[in-house]
Every structure is written in C-alpha cells, then in structure tokens.
Amino acid sequence: MKTLDKINLEKLIGILKQENYTVIGPVIKDGAVVYDEIDSIKDLPEGWEDEQEAGYYRLKKRNDNALFSYVVGPQSWKKFLFPQKLKLWQAVREGRGFNIENSNSAEPKYAFLGIRSCELKAVFIQDKVFDNGMFADSYYNNIRKNIFIISVNCTRAAGTCFCVSMKTGPKAKNGFDLALTEVINNNEHYFVLEQGSEKGTEIASKLETNDADDKQIKAAEAAVKNAELNMKRTMNTAGIKELLYNNHDHPIWSQIASRCLSCANCTMVCPTCFCSNIEDTTDLTGNHTERWRRWDSCFSLDYSKVAGGNFRTSVKARYRQWMTHKLASWIDQFGISGCVGCGRCITWCPVGIDLTKEVENLRNSPKTINK
Amino acid sequence: MAIKKPKLAVFKMSSCDGCQLSLLDAEDELLDVLGGVELAYFPEASSKMMKGPYDIGLVEGSITTPRNVEEIRQIRKDCKILITIGACATAGGIQALRNWKDTREFTKIVYASPEYISTLDRSLPVSSFVHVDYELRGCPINKYQLIEVLNAFLNRRKPNIPSYSVCIDCKLKGNVCVMTSQNQMCLGPVTHTGCNALCPSYNRGCFGCYGPMDSPNTSALASQFKQMGYGKFDIMNIFRSYNGYAEAFRKESEANEK
Ligand code: SF4
Ligand code: SF4
Ligand code: SF4
Ligand code: SF4
Ligand code: SF4
C-alpha cells in the first residue's frame, strides 16, 4: 500500500486526461452531490458532508478540508453506462422500403473518480443485467470495458446507508483499478492508495507516492471502521426471499400503497434498476423514424400495459413488485440481491418510504406467514 | 397517387388563446404540419374558413356559457376526431376557480349591466358535454406534444405522450429534488408529465399545470406537506389553480378547505 497527497491526486486527474479519459467525479449542484465531468480536485465538494434521512437531504459545511466526506447523492454512475435516453437506431424511407442506420456515435472513455463500494457493487450487478450470456447490450459493454475505476472507501455513513447489512461496503474489496482511503489526522491529510489492476499500477507508477507505514494503514482502517460504526440503518436479510414470496397477500402492501405516490423516484435513483421503455418517433413526413430507449419504472402504469389489459393497475401491486424484485426475485434472476444498501430510495422518496423499515414491519407482523 | 389531406380545424371556447398560439409558435414544424393537413378552419391564423366536416378538431377553452354548449355539440358532430388542448378544455382551467363561488355575485360586481351577461354557474371541461377522443394537457400545452399528437395521427401510430408523474422526467434530467433537499411543496409526484419538469429544473416546486397523473395519490402528498410544516390553507391553494377542478385536485383542495 502507498500514500498519496493532494498534489498527486491532482496529478492523477491530469494523467488520466492525457490518456484521453473523460474524468467523472462528485460535484455540488443545486445543493446536492451529483456526478459530472471534473477537471481538477478543485471541482470536488471540499469540506462538505451530507445529512440524509427518509425523504430528507441537506449538505452542510465541515470544519476541515476533506474531499470525500459525503456519501452518495441522487444520481448514480448508471447514467454513464445506461443513459437516461439513448437513440438505438434510425431509419430512412427508400422507395417502398427503408434503410436502417446505426446511430451510436463515438463511445466515451470514462475514468470514475470517487465511486463508493456500494456503487461499485451496483455496477457488478448491472454487468449481469447487460451482459449475461443470453443478452449483451453493446452500448453498455463498449463503455464498461474501458472504464478506469478509482474507488473511494467511505469514512462516514449517511443516515440512510445500510451497506454493512448488504455486505457491500463501506470498503471496496475488488473490481477497482485504484482505491483511496482519505485520512485526516491532526495536521496530516493524505490518501492511502491500493492498486487493484495492472492498469492501476501503471498509472500509479507515474505519481509520487510513498510506502504506507503501519501507522498510516491503521489510520485508514480506523477511518473506514468509523463508517461502519456510525451506520444506523440495518436490514435483516435472513430468509428474505421466502419472506417476500410467502407474503404476497399480506395487508402490509395496502398500508404502504396508501402512502406511496407511485412517482417512481425510488427506481430512478436506484443504481441497479435497469428498466427501460422503447419509443418510436417519426417526423411529420413519415420519411424518417427513430427508435429511442428511455428509463422506465415498474411504478409507472403504462409499464405493465400489455395487449388485452394491465396486470398491475393498483399501487399496491406496483410497490410489491418493486420490493419483491429488488430483494427476492432478483436473487432467482441473477443469483444476487438487487439492493446494495446505498439508501437512495429512502432519501429521495418524497414521502420517505423506507424499505428497511417495511421489511422489518413485514417480519414482525403477526399476520406474516413464515414457512 | 394524390392523397387527400386530412382537414384540420381549431376551435376556441372560453380561454386565453395561449394554447392555439402554441401551434403558431411551432415555427420550424408548422410548414411540415401544413404539408400533412389542410388547415380548414383556424380563425386565429387564417381568414379562410371552410365548412365541416373536419377530420381532426382541436378545441381550446372551457365551457362557460350557453353558447359554448351549443357550439361544442355542433363541433362534435362536425369532427371525426376531437382533441381537447389545454387545462381549460380538459379540466375547466383557471376560470373554474369561480366554481367554488357564486357567479352571479361576480357579474354584479364586475359588469355595469349584469342582465346582459349570459353565463353558466360553472366552468367545465369539454368532456362534461361531449365525447372527447384525446386530451392534451398543460397550461399552456407543450407545442412539441401537440405536434406529436398530430404527427401520430398522420402516421397512424400511437402518440408518445406518457401519463406518469413529473418526477420521472425530473429525474431523467438529473435534477435535485426540491422537496427532499429544500423543503419546497412540489406537485410533481401527482402531476401528469409533459413540461419536461420545467419548474423543478429552475429550483422551484411544480404547481400542477398538466393536471393529475394517471394514479395520483394526492392525500399522501398532502400529508407529507403537513409534515414539512405547511398549513391547510397553503395545501388548498397549491391544489386549486390551473387544474383545480380536475377531480383529484378538486377533492384534495376541498379536503383542506376547512
Ligand atoms: S416508494 Fe416513494 S419514491 Fe417510490 S414510488 Fe412510492 S412514493 Fe415514490
Ligand atoms: S433498493 Fe434502495 S437502497 Fe437498495 S440499491 Fe436500490 S436505491 Fe439503494
Ligand atoms: S452505503 Fe456504504 S458504501 Fe455506500 S455510501 Fe453509504 S457507507 Fe458508503
Ligand atoms: S389552458 Fe391556459 S393557456 Fe390554454 S387557453 Fe386555457 S388559460 Fe390559456
Ligand atoms: S422536484 Fe418535484 S418533480 Fe422533481 S422529483 Fe422532486 S417531487 Fe418530483
């Protein structure tokens, strides 16, 4: 393990840009941390942290110069791999037929700086969705294979985080090229650096680093431990698949539906949700048509409209679908939970519906069937 | 093969003309629209007024007078497809605020000779009187959506006009939610999308100009507003505006009236 100072973190961004990476990192926009292109560490939310609770998000100033003391915000990295709106192809009328033109322009080469452990796990989960042997999404995979990943281990948790329960954080174990842990002690401010790939080692060799001593390694471990110890939310996942499958008709679903707005915010912010809708557009002459893919959600009514009717008209059925897919049927589908415990769906639900609480309520209800 | 172009007519009931103007405002697309349809009746744009029947009729405005009632019945007979455009035509509009008051009182205060005023007690949507084939929302409507509806009709496909919440488009744009991060009231979660989340994109809450979305849970949103510290009067007012007489919004404003 090595250590790195701020000057060399800045240098790292420069090197990546020289290698033609578009560097993406956390920045502040409209009072929240979002992900966007950065040019320098000056773009990072230095000295800010977030307060998050169900249906509540605020940034507040810290009394230090920490670069990574907030956690995840309303956006996730999925927007770069699975864009909100994507033109799939276009066609032009030719005589009595038509010609299809592929319209995916040059795919960007990204470096993700500051991706958290839970978010990295979410990318692994989406890898299984967009490249699973049966189906491969070319746009996703072309970008995915070239990403340079610099993950940042969390040193504090927000009120809505529960990665410890989901075994997805707060420290990234693999899948990164480089990983950083920020340490601020007395007058010291440095990053403990781990190398996770050959490419990572190659890039790190261009930086001025020092070997991390025992004290520094311990300080980094203690910082990550701090995030674990501060994590207030938990979710008991024992037998969760059976819990949800056996309680399809439980009254809890109607209770949640009375509060749920079916606004779909929870699915939009979730880093693993992958649903989309396909729309065809034409120009007025009818000579030119385009096919677009756009994020959709099981909360939207049209989502479950099929020839002959709609199989999920009630909000009750829609909320149940969302939670059952995330926590149970995802396991059957992809061999892994669809939830990484990032807490976004809790923070950004306008009415603060909290899936960890609802799972607990279901477990503790006398009406629950435990087979 | 010369195909006969479908005849388009644009009618106005009680309204401010803003929605019709959206069609004229679609400068880049207007010529293409005119390439696809014959503008048979559109007094705002052309003095050429052809008689019915028409293939598509666009109706702006709410029904507020006995004359409006007669007109809309005739328009329905004249148009194969009847599309209402805007909050007035689909929900009664801002002028439906009078539906909670005594209209005769108003006429007495406003007009010198109220006996000349012939008006209905309420401002109502077109669908209260005749069958409507398609309702396009908004105050005013989004010109791209209007083009899309005409386009879909001309190309014999379904219009791409989703009926979900403003929140979905708000999130697609990458906005930061003003409810959760700024404690502002926002009707986005219960409002029909169409404006591409205009207000939240400028850091203010949605005030519902596209009316209720397909499954609006207004009471859950109202209780969240209460938890955020807003009073009944604020809640009544936010639901009672451009689409205040649309059923879901009307019920919620009435629930918060006293
Ligand atoms: S759980 Fe919350 S965010 Fe999700 S649809 Fe319901 S109200 Fe919206
Ligand atoms: S379900 Fe909620 S907590 Fe789990 S990954 Fe999605 S947004 Fe995060
Ligand atoms: S859930 Fe864990 S890894 Fe994700 S942001 Fe919170 S503390 Fe970090
Ligand atoms: S809907 Fe709004 S813009 Fe359109 S006519 Fe009515 S008041 Fe005017
Ligand atoms: S700002 Fe309004 S429209 Fe946007 S997500 Fe929040 S509640 Fe929905």
**A343 close to ligand 2 (CB < 6 Angstrom):** yes
**Residue bearing the bigger pLDDT, A187 or B238:** B238
Residue A27: predicted pLDDT: 98
Instruction: Flag whether A121 is in a domain.
Output: yes
CA A65 to each of CA A35, A41, A190, A225, B214: distance values in angstroms, whole numbers, following the listed order: 20, 12, 11, 20, 47
Whether residue A333 is predicted with pLDDT greater than 60 in this model: the reply is yes
Exposed e or buried b per residue across A178-194, where buried means at least 16 C-beta atoms within 10 angstroms of its C-beta: bbbbbbbeeeeebbbbb
Residue B168: predicted pLDDT: 98
**Residue bearing the bigger pLDDT, B81 or A107:** B81
Report the residue among A70, A161, A180, A269 best suited for mutation to probe ligand 3: largest number of ligand atoms under 8 A from its CB: A161
Same domain, A180 and A112: yes
Instruction: Flag whether A69 is in a domain.
Output: yes
pLDDT tens-place string over residues A108-142: 999 999 999 999 999 999 999 999 989 999 999 99
Residue A282: predicted pLDDT: 87
- Domain limits for position A71: 2-83+103-229
* Percent of chain A clearing pLDDT 90 (strictly above): 93
* Percent of chain A clearing pLDDT 70 (strictly above): 99
pLDDT tens-place string over residues A295-320: 999 999 999 988 889 999 999 999 99
* B160: nearest CB among A73, A265, A279: A279
The number of C-beta contacts closer than 8 angstroms across A and B is 130
**Residue bearing the bigger pLDDT, A57 or B109:** A57
User: Can you give chain A as a three-state secondary structure string?
Assistant: CEEECHHHHHHHHHHHHHCCCEEEEEEEECCEEEEEECCCHHHCCCCEEEEEECCEEEEEECCCCCCCCCCCCCCCCHHHHCCCEEEEEEEEEECCEEEEEECCCCCCCEEEEEECHHHHHHHHHHHHHHECCCCECHHHHHHHCCCEEEEECCCCCCCCCCHHHHCCCCCCCCCCCEEEEEEEECCEEEEEEEECCHHHHHHHCCCCCEECCHHHHHHHHHHHHHHHHCCCCCCCCCCHHHHHHHCCCCCHHHHHHHHCCCCCHHHHHCCCCCCEEEEEEECCCCCEEEEEEEECCCCCHHHHEECCEECCCCHHHHHHHHHHHHHHHHHHHHCCCCCCCCCHHHHCCCCCCCHHHHHHHHHHCCCCCCC
Relative to the alpha carbon of A157, which ligand is closest? 3
C-alpha closest to that of B126 among B98, B96, B91: B91
Q: Lowest-confidence range among A229-238, A281-290, B9-18, B73-82?
A: A281-290
Q: Which domains does chain B have, with CATH numbers?
A: 7-154 (3.40.50.700), 166-255 (no CATH)
What is the rounded CA–CA span in Å between residue B236 and residue B83?
30
Same domain, A193 and A165: yes
The pLDDT-based confidence of B44 (bands split at 50, 70, 90) is: confident
Rounded to the nearest angstrom, the gap between the alpha carbon of residue A59 and the centroid of all alpha carbons in its chain is 19
To the nearest whole number, what is the mean pLDDT of chain A? Answer: 96
Same domain, A314 and A217: no
Of A176, A209, A229, the domain-final residue: A229
Same domain, A246 and A189: no
Same domain, A203 and A125: yes
Report the residue among B11, B12, B17, B19 best suited for mutation to probe ligand 4: largest number of ligand atoms under 8 A from its CB: B19
Residue B72: predicted pLDDT: 98
> Looking at the 3D structure of chain A, how many domains does it have?
2
Instruction: Flag whether A202 is in a domain.
Output: yes
**B198 close to ligand 5 (CB < 6 Angstrom):** no
Q: Contact at 8 Å (CB) between B188 and B168?
A: no
C-alpha closest to that of A165 among A94, A237, A230, A113: A237
CA distance B25 to chain A (A): 16
Task: Report the pocket of ligand 4 as residue ranges, CB < 6 Å.
Answer: B 15-16, 18-19, 60-61, 86-88, 93-94, 139-140
Whether residue B236 is predicted with pLDDT greater than 90 in this model: the reply is yes
Whether residue B28 is predicted with pLDDT greater than 90 in this model: the reply is no
Residue B2: predicted pLDDT: 54
Task: Report the pocket of ligand 1 as residue ranges, CB < 6 Å.
Answer: A 260-266, 299, 349, 351, 353
Residue B1: predicted pLDDT: 44
- What integer is the mean pLDDT of B85-92? 97
CA distance A30 to chain B (A): 6
To the nearest whole number, what is the mean pLDDT of chain B? Answer: 94
Chain-chain contact of B167 with A265 (C-beta, under 8 angstroms): yes
Residue B154: predicted pLDDT: 82
Same domain, A148 and A202: yes
Same domain, A65 and A171: yes
Total Cβ atoms within 10 A of residue A158: 26
Same domain, A214 and A306: no
What is the rounded CA–CA span in Å between residue A18 and residue A11?
10
Strands (DSSP E) found in B94-209: 134-136
What is the rounded CA–CA span in Å between residue B83 and residue B59?
6
Same domain, A112 and A168: yes
pTM of the model: 0.95
Instruction: Flag whether A282 is in a domain.
Output: no
Whether residue B56 is predicted with pLDDT greater than 80 in this model: the reply is yes
Whether residue B42 is predicted with pLDDT greater than 90 in this model: the reply is yes
**Residue bearing the bigger pLDDT, B57 or A106:** B57
Q: Which residue in A51, A57, A262, A295 has the most chain B C-beta atoms within 10 A of its own C-beta, making it the best mutation to test that interface?
A: A262
Instruction: Flag whether A349 is in a domain.
Output: yes
Q: Contact at 8 Å (CB) between A332 and A324?
A: no
Same domain, A69 and A211: yes
Same domain, A116 and A186: yes
Chain-chain contact of B151 with A284 (C-beta, under 8 angstroms): yes
Q: Which two tokens stand for residue B145?
A: 């959506």
* B174: nearest CB among A34, A284, A352: A34
Chain-chain contact of A263 with B147 (C-beta, under 8 angstroms): no
pLDDT tens-place string over residues A244-300: 999 999 999 999 999 999 999 999 999 999 999 999 988 888 889 999 999 999 999
CA distance B158 to chain A (A): 9
The pLDDT-based confidence of A75 (bands split at 50, 70, 90) is: very high
Chain-chain contact of A261 with B151 (C-beta, under 8 angstroms): no
Q: Which two tokens stand for residue B106?
A: 């108003």
Instruction: Flag whether A234 is in a domain.
Output: no
Rounded to whole angstroms, the maximal C-alpha distance in chain B is: 66
Same domain, A149 and A270: no
Instruction: Flag whether A292 is in a domain.
Output: no
Instruction: Flag whether A162 is in a domain.
Output: yes
What angle do the packed helices B218-227 and B247-255 form, to 10 degrees? 40
Residue B26: predicted pLDDT: 83
Q: Lowest-confidence range among A77-86, A165-174, B41-50, B157-166?
A: B41-50
Exposed e or buried b per residue across B32-51, where buried means at least 16 C-beta atoms within 10 angstroms of its C-beta: bbeebbbbbbbeeeeeeeee
Q: Is the dihedral of CA A343, A345, A349, A354 positive or negative?
A: negative
- What integer is the mean pLDDT of B210-227? 97
